């Protein structure tokens, strides 16, 4: 289950990128959304799940 109060270290957000297109990721709710391709990766228990197979495709 995804925790609605996601708490990721800002330094982590500076270094991780989208595994699909290498675009920048931004935290939006309980997901990390890629600025390049739009894939949304879940964050579960404050751990980013950066697997393309687990990502939600853009609407």
pLDDT at 1: 44
Domains: count for the chain: 1
Q: Around Cβ 33, how many Cβ atoms within 10 Å?
A: 20
Residue 2 has pLDDT above 70, yes or no: no
- The CATH code of the domain that includes 49 is 2.20.25.10
Q: What SS3 state is found at 46?
A: coil
Residue 32 has pLDDT above 80, yes or no: yes
Q: Residue 5 — very low, low, confident or very high, per pLDDT cuts 50/70/90? A: confident
Q: By 3-state DSSP, what share of the chain in percent is helix, strand and coil, each rounded to 5?
A: 15, 30, 55
Q: What is the pTM of this model?
A: 0.86
Three-point CA angle 51, 13, 27, nearest 5°: 75
How confident is the model over 14-31, as pLDDT tens digits?
999 999 999 999 999 999
Domain around 41: 10-54
Residue 21 lies in a domain: yes
How far CA 3 is from CA of 16, 23, 30, in Å, comes to: 20, 24, 7
């Amino acid at each position: 289950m995804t925790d609605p109060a996601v708490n990721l270290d800002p330094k982590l957000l500076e270094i991780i990128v989208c595994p699909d297109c290498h675009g920048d990721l931004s935290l939006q709710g309980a997901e990390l959304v890629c600025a390049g391709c739009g894939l949304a990766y879940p964050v579960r228990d404050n751990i980013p799940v950066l697997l393309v197979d687990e990502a939600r495709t853009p609407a």
